Structure 1
C-alpha cells in the first residue's frame, strides 16, 4: 500500500495538486495519499483526523465502494469530506477555505495557520 501511495503522490491529479498547493502551507499539516487501513486518502490532516476525498466523474459509478470506504474511515474516527473535482477547479480558494473551516471544527475551533517562513513567498514552478 505504501508503494501505491507513493505512486499516487507522484502521479496526482490536477485537482489534487491544486488543493495541495493551497493547503500545504498550513499547520497543523496536511498530507497527501495517506494510507488508512486498506484505503488511501487523497488529502488528510492527521491531527484533526480529517480526510478529504476529491471525486471525479468516475465516482458516479462507484457510490457503493465510496460509501463502504467512508463508513470504514468514520469507524476509525475520521471525518470525511467528499468534494467534486469540478467544484475545486471552479472555485479553488473557496474549497480550500471550506476545508480549513472544517479542519478548525475538528480541532475545536483552532484554525490552521500558514507557516510563517512561507508567507509571501512566490512559488517557483517545478521543472518536469
Structure 2
C-alpha cells in the first residue's frame, strides 16, 4: 500500500496544465511573500478518533488558505467536495475554488482573487 507522502509526490508529478500555470505564480514566495505548498496532506481527526487526510492542490499555512483547481472530475465529486470544504472550514481554513479554464484563460483575475484572501 502506498503511503501518503508517496501519493502526494505522485499527484505533483501528474499535475494538470492549470495547476502548473498556477504553481508558477505561487511558488518560491512569488505571491505577496507567502509560502504555498503543493499537494500537501492535511491530517484531520474524526470524531471517532480515526485520522484521515485531505490533500489540497495548494495550501498557505500563514494565511490559512486552501486553493483548488477544479477540473472535470469535480463535476462528479460535488458531494465529496462539499463535505471536504465543510471540514476544512471547521478547521479555520478558507477555500478558494477555481475552474481549470478560469486559471488558464484569466490567470491575472485568479491571482488578484487569491491576493484579496491572503
CA distance in 2 between counterparts of 1:41 and 1:61 reads: 17
TM-score (norm 1): 0.76
Describe the SS at the equivalent of 2:12: helix
Give the total of aligned pairs: 103
Moved over 6 A (4+): none
Query: Does the Cα contact within 8 Å between 1:22 and 1:93 map onto a contact in 2?
Result: no
Give the gaps of 5 or more residues in structure 1: 104-128
Please, which of 14, 19, 26 is the counterpart of residue 16 of structure 1?
19
TM-score (norm 2): 0.82
Query: Does the Cα contact within 8 Å between 1:44 and 1:50 map onto a contact in 2?
Result: yes
Q: CA RMSD in A?
A: 1.1
Aligned to 2:46: none
The 5 A counterparts of 1:1-128 are 1-24=4-27, 25-26=30-31, 27-37=33-43, 38-103=53-118
Aligned to 1:110: none
